[in-house]
Structure 1
Amino acid sequence: MNDVKAVVYEGPRSVAVRDVPDPKIKKGTDAIVKITSTNICGSDLHMYEGRTNVEEGKILGHENMGTVVEVGSGIDRIKVGDRVSVPFNIGCGHCRNCLTGWTAYCLRMNPNPDMDGAAYGYANMGPYDGGQAEYLRVPHADFNLLELPPGDEHENDFTMLSDIFPTGYHGTELAGMEPGDTVAVFGGGPVGLLAAHSAMLRGASQVFVVDRENDRLALAEKLGATRIDFSVADPVEQIMDATHGRGVDRGVDAVGYQAHGKGGEQPARVLDNLVDVVRSTGGIGVIGVYVPEDPGAADEGAKHGRIGFNFGKMFSKGQRIGTGQCPVMRYNRHLRDMIITGRATPSIVVSHELPLTEAPDAYDKFDRRVDGYTKVVLKPEMSGGTS
């Protein structure tokens, strides 16, 4: 291999497809994956918008899958030719957190002393190149890679296994969901939609999806959820009316720190709404991203990760709250198998399949919500885009 093409961060609202050195095996436990599908994630937009401290020149992309083309001398499970999903977490497989299934908080792979957990192509998550590229180096490949059936069947479903499908499922798990529960998901982006899909798969009696974008709400209805358009009326009132004043058993925050309401950005808005709408002793799962430092925040506290939601009311209602990035390997195997058997179809969120070369335009349109951009899958070998 010579130089390969990759999507590189150049500054706020600026990415470019550049020629970069092809990835090499650095340790015997590495593998090189030829990327067949790589997604633009909503959390990539935090970096794209300049709301993180990601360095210029960073190769982006943490939602990756492809075919193994080279393995290190220490690899004995994964083989050249295997079709694989690459979890966005990079785990060592040996530390306390990895051994207990919490690969999102690996203690060894991130040299940043203030951050447990590593990932591909993301701010503060270690020095690892992302997979919005033709090839990707995968450390500890025997531990991290998930094998997939050969061929190209379910390609767009399987590419959701690296992050957003397990993350959506994780939101329902953090909330403590049980069969028969009612669930409110705030945020109808790809993660929120797949949280709703996961809740349905887990036996929810009713799922509400809160958003204001009609294309997202239409997808929520297609998944069997009840749409709540917060541009029409207060979402808490709508859900309380629909549940005869009882509220819901579980809530999922799939929005994060860039939540908006009347008057602009309000980082506590979704958390406050969830505290209001989830019944007493119910559970809340927070999978929307919150960050310890946000120089672009609307208020001084939020600039330093201090989000002033109604903790007192949450305490008085006896609610439980779970937070954090998804440990993908806890879920990806059985979610893969649900895709294979036709039980799960996470590709429903895909709106556009595009060549890697069209990434800069796709980032711009996805960020501005142009033309119904819901989820973009980049195909390095593709010569023309479809939507």
Structure 2
Amino acid sequence: MRAMVYRGPYRVRVEDKPRPVIEHPNDAIVRVQLAAICGSDLHLYHGMMPDTRVGHTFGHEFIGVVDEVGSSVQNLSVGDRVMVPFNIYCGSCFFCARGLFSNCHNVNPNATAVGGIYGYSHTTGGYDGGQSEYVRVPFADVGPSVIPDWLEDEDALLMTDALSTGYFGAQIADIHEGDTVAVLGAGPVGLYAARSAWLMGAGRVVVIDHLQERLEKARTFAHAEVLNFTEVDDVVVTMKKLTEHLGFDRVIDAVGAEADGNLTQHLTSARFKLQGGSPVALNWAIDGVRKGGTVSVVGAYGPIFTSVKFGDAMNKGLTLRMNQAPVKRQWPRLLEHIRNGYLKPSDIVTHRFPLEDIAEAYHVFSAKLDGCIKPLIVPSAD
């Protein structure tokens, strides 16, 4: 099959790779119809994530058609059109039984915190991802769901991570009717978080970023006020001024570790495997939320992370809530919203690339060229 492979920082290409095979009776093989590049993929692309190995295939957002099933699979059949959550999970461990699918205890031998993730380095289990023609899907009776006939492919694709994560970010922010909500980051997750905040009763939503095309999308898609942080002297002071000097009731950090990184981060990630990310966005959230407020974190951070204003968070009486989104747990409500016309996830898609042009796709997305907000990848498998 043809698949994207990693050859080192800023070096990705499409190569021939062995087609995946059934390795366990609960596996399925999915022929990928549509995939996406996520902002968190840029941490891998830039060499900022530990244990990203040469030859690895990225891609944790994908949908496709079931091509083969293991002997124990009961809920899927060959030919089913399926969407696959980015979480790989067993469905039966202590954490899965409590709906914490992103914290599954049985799928990632390399960590005790996060479970398995497709195409996201060996720190999340080393599973190849969906930027390819075929992908092996473990625990096929648990993760994938058959796509409803009425749901369009691109909308289904965006439910596999970005939409579900943004919705989860608004959900764990514990928004009450009339709350003021600030969203840091106007990438896909931030846009979805801002749009979801209205669904949960927010009275005011402000999105903070610095790229004009993303801020414009926040206006038109998320119906939010926007703040360009490069146009003010102090972001936190401005956040206070917007809220009668109290701070926002809820702040959602949809930035996480800045994907470009600084020199120190590059050195520590490459030499010492300590990449965690810059604390700027998280500290803005802590400083910009009101006393007794809630900070929701769904941006991706690495395992080693310092310089967070935890003392300020404690003294302000903040509630901090965070996790990788348990994607499938969000699907029933999101399907309702989409079917009722409250959401059209694909409205944020700006670019579509053939799989063979994956190197160009990463370059355009990484450099934010041509107003790229969300790029999709179209494999060529028959």
Quote the residue 1:299 is aligned against: none
- Whether the aligned pair in 1 keeps the contact of 2:236 and 2:287 (CA below 8 Å) is yes
- Whether the aligned pair in 2 keeps the contact of 1:261 and 1:269 (CA below 8 Å) is no
Quote the residue 1:82 is aligned against: 80
Quote the residue 2:189 is aligned against: 191
- TM-score of the two chains, using structure 1 as the length reference: 0.90
Matched, 1:332 2:331: yes
- TM-score of the two chains, using structure 2 as the length reference: 0.91
Give the alignment of 1:166-245 within 5 angstroms. Answer: 166-222=164-220, 223-233=222-232, 234-245=234-245
Quote the residue 1:255 is aligned against: 255
Cα displacement (A) at 1:262 = 12
Structure 2 counterpart of 1:55, one-letter code: R
2:47 pairs with one of 29, 47, 50: 50
Quote the residue 1:351 is aligned against: 350
Matched, 1:141 2:152: no
Greater displacement, 330-339 / 31-40: 330-339
Matched, 1:379 2:381: no
Structure 2 counterpart of 1:70, one-letter code: E
Q: Deviations over 1:220-255 (max 9, x none)?
A: 001211111001003323332222223211111111
Cα distance in 1 between the residues matched to 2:24 and 2:311:
50
Alpha-carbon RMSD = 2.2
Q: Deviations over 1:179-217 (max 9, x none)?
A: 322110101111111111111222211111100000000
Greater displacement, 5-14 / 163-172: 163-172
Cα displacement (A) at 1:281 = 0.9
Cα distance in 2 between the residues matched to 1:70 and 1:283:
45
SS of match in other structure, 2:281: helix
Matched, 1:6 2:3: yes
Q: Deviations over 1:230-285 (max 9, x none)?
A: 01003323332222223211111111122899999881221221122211111001
Quote the residue 1:158 is aligned against: 156
Cα displacement (A) at 1:114 = 4.6
- Whether the aligned pair in 1 keeps the contact of 2:48 and 2:259 (CA below 8 Å) is no
Structure 2 counterpart of 1:271, one-letter code: L
Cα distance in 2 between the residues matched to 1:350 and 1:330:
24
Cα distance in 1 between the residues matched to 2:259 and 2:127:
29
Quote the residue 2:19 is aligned against: 22
SS of match in other structure, 1:331: helix
- Identity among equivalent positions (%) equals 41
SS of match in other structure, 2:370: helix
Number of matched pairs: 367
Matched, 1:283 2:290: no
Distance 1:217 1:170, change over 3 A: same
SS of match in other structure, 1:99: helix
Cα distance in 1 between the residues matched to 2:201 and 2:64:
32
Cα displacement (A) at 1:381 = 3.3
Cα distance in 2 between the residues matched to 1:376 and 1:368:
13
SS of match in other structure, 1:144: coil
Cα distance in 2 between the residues matched to 1:378 and 1:20:
18
Distance 1:274 1:260, change over 3 A: farther
SS of match in other structure, 2:227: strand
Structure 1 counterpart of 2:156, one-letter code: F
Quote the residue 2:58 is aligned against: 60
Greater displacement, 156-165 / 336-345: 336-345
**Alignment gaps of 5+ in structure 1:** 293-304
- Whether the aligned pair in 2 keeps the contact of 1:186 and 1:209 (CA below 8 Å) is yes
Cα distance in 2 between the residues matched to 1:221 and 1:242:
17
SS of match in other structure, 1:231: helix
Cα distance in 1 between the residues matched to 2:64 and 2:95:
27
Quote the residue 2:270 is aligned against: none
Deviating 4+ runs (over 3 angstroms): 113-116, 259-266
Structure 2 counterpart of 1:244, one-letter code: E
**Alignment gaps of 5+ in structure 2:** 266-276
- Whether the aligned pair in 2 keeps the contact of 1:174 and 1:321 (CA below 8 Å) is no
Cα distance in 1 between the residues matched to 2:261 and 2:109:
37
Cα displacement (A) at 1:374 = 0.6
